[in-house]
């Protein structure tokens, strides 16, 4: 696995843009370069996608390669499998990750297993883009964070771009990847701006980024929670705790090397995730850390995640449900207490 990358301004020509635009850049770039790439999903053509990611693609590439679909999520994923097997590079948009359970059989039993179960004779190069993020007003069927559930299924790659540059670079890598890739795009990040390199810019799948360097505590996180972790790190700095932030960027394959290298240095670890803690990202990563570094740790791995409830509708309920800066800071201070009592 390649070395983790630090968050720095990308080299060469860059353009300031939002994550949603950076994702569109990746689609445009690859559709122009590779005729096999096509995009389909609900409202992606005329309307430009529920979040504007596919805006303008219909006009640029025509209706054969940019298709509005009926509301048939499982069918879409199934068609993408067949099109991929027959030589195309489909990119499907599923409007909410809450709709992925409709596609579970196609995605986890078939797409993910095809390469293995055909003895390597057939690969399924396709990308399933979807939005995730718990927000007020979305409620139980429109604002889930179920990304962690897909860790359970071998054969799927999972990416979660945080910065606009990663949005372009990871999506480009995903389209070119010979395997099925699930791309979770955070509701909280679509509108966040950042520099994005022009041209053929890729970010490797399976490589985490060190967003902030520190020596006292490692926070491993992803997606919108990277911003919350960064706010918390600033607050902790004022209290004398120096935080290192690892942005996973890919859940599968998981960059264990970068996580473990950081925790071996700081000896304290916290995992922050917007999804439920039970059986999710925080559980898996805490297990990986403790399996490998138990005797080096100065305290148990802390977990800050969503509680074991469906995503609620009303703003105060949402605020109570998902991690915020105070919860992260509180957990960090408790870990640091361990530092003081240590002999």
Summarize as ranges the residues that interact with other proteins (CB under 8 A).
36, 38, 64-65, 67, 69-70, 72, 74-88, 90, 105-106, 109-110, 112-123, 125, 154-155, 157, 178-179, 253
Minimal distance, residue 108 CB to other proteins, in Å? 11
Cis link prior to 253 (omega < 30° from 0)? yes
Closer to other proteins by Cβ: residue 7 or 79: 79
**Could you confirm whether 188 is annotated as catalytic?**
no
Q: Work out whether strand 209-212 and strand 243-247 pair parallel, antiparallel, or are unpaired.
A: antiparallel
Catalytic pick from 142, 147, 187, 188?
142
Separation CA 15–CA 145 (nearest Å): 30
Closer to other proteins by Cβ: residue 110 or 298: 110
- Burial class for 77, CB neighbours closer than 10 Å (0-12, 13-18, 19+): buried
Q: Work out whether strand 193-197 and strand 243-247 pair parallel, antiparallel, or are unpaired.
A: unpaired
Closer to other proteins by Cβ: residue 38 or 190: 38
Closer to other proteins by Cβ: residue 81 or 226: 81
Closer to other proteins by Cβ: residue 84 or 149: 84
Separation CA 269–CA 279 (nearest Å): 18
Separation CA 284–CA 151 (nearest Å): 9
Distance of CA 116 to the CA centre of its chain: 24
Candidates 267, 332, 255, 271; CA nearest to 293 is 267
Closer to other proteins by Cβ: residue 70 or 240: 70
Q: Work out whether strand 250-252 and strand 243-247 pair parallel, antiparallel, or are unpaired.
A: unpaired
Closer to other proteins by Cβ: residue 106 or 282: 106
Q: What angle do CA 168, 53, 57 make, to 5 degrees?
A: 95
Residue 299 token pair: 């305290």
Minimal distance, residue 276 CB to other proteins, in Å? 25
Please, what is the angle between helix 164-176 and helix 19-33, to 10°?
Answer: 30
Question: What 3 state SS string does 280-321 have?
Answer: CHHHHHHHHHHHHHHHHCCCCCEEEEECCCCCCCCHHHHHHH
Candidates 207, 244, 239; CA nearest to 226 is 244
Say if CB 144 and CB 322 are below 8 A apart: no
Active-site annotation, residues:
142
């Amino acid at each position: 696995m390649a070395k983790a990358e630090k968050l720095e301004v990308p080299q060469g020509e860059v353009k300031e843009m939002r994550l949603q635009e950076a994702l569109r850049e990746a689609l445009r770039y690859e559709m122009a370069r590779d005729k096999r790439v096509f995009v389909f999903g609900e409202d992606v053509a005329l309307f430009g996608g529920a979040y504007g990611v596919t805006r303008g693609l219909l006009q640029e590439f025509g209706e054969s390669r940019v298709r509005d679909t009926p509301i048939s999520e499982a069918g879409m994923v199934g068609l993408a499998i067949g099109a991929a097997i027959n030589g195309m590079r489909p990119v499907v948009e599923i409007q909410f990750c809450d709709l992925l359970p409709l596609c579970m059989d196609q995605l986890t039993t078939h797409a993910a297993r095809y390469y293995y179960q055909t003895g390597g004779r057939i690969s399924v190069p396709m990308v399933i883009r979807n939005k995730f993020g718990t927000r007020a007003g979305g409620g139980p069927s429109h604002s889930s964070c179920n990304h962690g559930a897909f860790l359970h299924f071998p054969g799927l790659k999972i990416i979660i771009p945080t910065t606009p540059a990663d949005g372009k670079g990871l999506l480009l890598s995903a389209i070119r990847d010979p395997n099925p890739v699930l791309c979770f795009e955070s509701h909280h990040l679509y509108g966040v701006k950042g520099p994005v390199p022009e041209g053929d810019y890729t970010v490797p799948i399976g490589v985490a980024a060190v967003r902030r360097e520190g020596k006292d505590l490692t926070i491993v996180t992803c997606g919108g929670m990277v911003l919350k972790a960064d706010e918390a790190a600033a607050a902790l700095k004022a209290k004398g705790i120096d935080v290192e932030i690892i942005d996973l960027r890919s859940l599968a394959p998981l960059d264990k090397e970068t996580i473990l290298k950081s925790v071996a240095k700081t000896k304290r670890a916290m995992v922050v995730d917007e999804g439920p803690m039970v059986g999710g990202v925080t559980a898996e990563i805490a297990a990986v850390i403790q399996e490998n570094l138990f005797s080096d740790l100065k305290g148990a791995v802390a977990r800050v995640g969503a509680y074991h409830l469906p995503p609620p509708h009303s703003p105060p309920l949402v605020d109570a449900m998902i991690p915020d800066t105070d919860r992260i800071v509180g957990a960090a201070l408790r870990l640091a207490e361990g530092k003081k009592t240590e002999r």
